[in-house]
């Protein structure tokens, strides 16, 4: 038995929940086929710790993802960017707790909602970038990169299918960071060589995780592997010059997002115009794709 995550409890339908009795036995609390709200148990009334069978973990997460996605759809329809961002944070956080095949594919449905006509009409995705978040993390970074990527897709008139693949790639490009030592991820200083080598490995780890998933487009795995490559061969992990199209787009957006965010205490966030000038220098040095950079810059002002 494992402790069930409180944030997911109310979404479980087929997953039975148990409570631990004083003598250490597990007694059924909620049978499969019913939700806690079917049993009229509200979140406030739920003071006990509930458990689930270990083998139900993935099924539980999938039920929770469906529940969060329904909530996201309502948030998108009401056009409230703060609500959309908050639900998205829950989805990405919960999904990254179990980053493997069977759970990561859940973001495919999330992306369908984010690129739906409702989202288009309310312009809610663009507004996501103006909802500030106090605790910058891989989750927030990934959501921001995705929001920039969807704005880019709209500006570049990508097809719905291409937009979806780009959005998923953006959301999951740093999935490999779940395996990096947390102290390295949040180090309030410049990393030493050894630490930086570990940090670099998030590209390969992400690729390996995503390769096991049932995404139909291989560009999603390549974006995780290649988003730190530079077109002049000075990037990592493979000093590759010939980089996939999606990875080239994510590379530009990823750098822009990281530089404009206050993610590191040892340096200040840059303002957009300075960041664009810095990236333009890198374009001129042959590190980033010129056409992609231009389209991205225009997508910011549109
Ligand atoms: Fe990365
Ligand atoms: Fe990133």
Residue-wise pLDDT tens digits, 25-69 = 999 999 999 999 888 887 777 778 999 999 999 999 999 999 999
How far is the centre of ligand 2, averaged over its atoms, from the C-alpha of 225 (Å)? 11
Q: Which ligand has its closest atom nearest to the C-alpha of 204?
A: 1
pLDDT-derived band at 267, boundaries 50, 70, 90: low
How far is the centre of ligand 2, averaged over its atoms, from the C-alpha of 141 (Å)? 7
End-to-end Cα spacing for the chain:
52
How far is the centre of ligand 2, averaged over its atoms, from the C-alpha of 246 (Å)? 13
- 11-30: string of b/e by CB count within 10 Å (b at 16+)? bbbebbbbebeeeeeeeebb
Q: Which ligand has its closest atom nearest to the C-alpha of 180?
A: 1
Instruction: List alpha helices for the chain, DSSP H.
Output: 57-78, 81-97, 107-114, 117-122, 124-128, 138-155, 160-172, 182-185, 193-200, 202-211, 219-226, 245-260, 272-284, 290-301
How far is the centre of ligand 1, averaged over its atoms, from the C-alpha of 76 (Å)? 28
Write down the pLDDT at residue 263.
62
How far is the centre of ligand 1, averaged over its atoms, from the C-alpha of 282 (Å)? 17
User: What CATH number was assigned to the domain covering residues 115-301?
Assistant: 1.10.3210.10
Greater confidence (145 vs 214) lies with 145
ω into residue 237 within 30 of 0, thus cis?
Answer: yes
Other beta carbons within 10 angstroms of residue 183's beta carbon come to 8
Q: Which helix (H) or strand (E) holds 17?
A: strand 17-20
Q: Give the highest mean pLDDT range of 45-49, 126-130, 209-213.
A: 209-213
How far is the centre of ligand 2, averaged over its atoms, from the C-alpha of 169 (Å)? 11
How far is the centre of ligand 2, averaged over its atoms, from the C-alpha of 255 (Å)? 7
Measured CA to CA, the distance from residue 227 to residue 222 in angstroms comes to 8
pLDDT-derived band at 276, boundaries 50, 70, 90: very high
How far is the centre of ligand 2, averaged over its atoms, from the C-alpha of 142 (Å)? 7
Q: Which ligand has its closest atom nearest to the C-alpha of 142?
A: 2
Domain borders along the chain are 2-52, 115-301
Q: Which ligand has its closest atom nearest to the C-alpha of 145?
A: 2
- Which two three-digit tokens encode residue 259? 């530089």
Write down the pLDDT at residue 87.
95
Q: Which ligand has its closest atom nearest to the C-alpha of 146?
A: 2
pLDDT-derived band at 122, boundaries 50, 70, 90: confident
Q: Which ligand has its closest atom nearest to the C-alpha of 149?
A: 2
pTM of the complete model: 0.92
**Has residue 159 got a pLDDT over 70?**
yes
Contact between residue 30 and residue 60 where contact means Cβ atoms under 8 Å apart: no
Q: For the residues 132-160, what does the mean pLDDT come to?
A: 90
Compute, in degrees rounded to 10, the torsion defined by CA atoms 126, 129, 132, 137: 130
Q: For the residues 206-213, what does the mean pLDDT come to?
A: 95
Q: Which ligand has its closest atom nearest to the C-alpha of 259?
A: 2
Helices 272-284, 245-260: axis angle to 10 degrees equals 140
């Amino acid at each position: 038995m494992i402790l069930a995550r409180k944030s997911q409890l109310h979404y479980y339908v087929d997953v039975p929940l148990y409570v631990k009795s004083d003598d250490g036995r597990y007694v059924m609390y909620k049978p499969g086929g019913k939700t806690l709200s079917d049993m009229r148990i509200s979140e406030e009334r739920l003071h006990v710790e509930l458990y689930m069978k270990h083998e139900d973990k993935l099924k539980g997460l999938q039920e929770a993802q469906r529940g969060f996605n329904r909530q996201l759809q309502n948030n998108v329809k009401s056009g409230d960017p703060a609500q959309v961002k908050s639900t998205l944070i829950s989805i990405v956080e919960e999904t990254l707790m179990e980053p493997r095949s069977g759970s990561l594919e859940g973001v495919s449905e999330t992306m369908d909602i984010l690129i739906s006509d409702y989202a288009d009409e309310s312009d809610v995705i663009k507004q996501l970038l103006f909802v500030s978040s106090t605790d910058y993390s891989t989750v927030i970074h990934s959501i921001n990169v995705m929001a920039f990527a969807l704005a880019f897709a709209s500006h570049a008139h990508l097809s719905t299918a291409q937009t979806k693949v780009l959005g998923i790639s953006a959301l999951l490009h740093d999935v490999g960071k779940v395996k990096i030592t947390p102290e390295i991820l949040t180090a309030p200083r410049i990393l030493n060589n050894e630490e930086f080598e570990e940090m670099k490995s998030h590209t390969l780890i992400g690729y390996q995780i995503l390769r096991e998933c049932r995404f139909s487009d291989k560009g999603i795995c390549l974006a995780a592997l290649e988003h730190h490559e530079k077109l002049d061969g000075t990037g990592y992990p493979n000093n590759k010059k010939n980089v996939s199209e999606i990875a080239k787009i994510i590379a530009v957006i990823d750098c822009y997002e990281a530089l404009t965010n206050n993610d590191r205490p040892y340096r200040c966030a840059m303002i957009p115009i300075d960041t664009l000038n810095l990236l333009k220098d890198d374009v001129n040095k042959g590190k980033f794709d010129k056409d992609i950079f231009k389209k991205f810059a225009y997508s910011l002002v549109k």
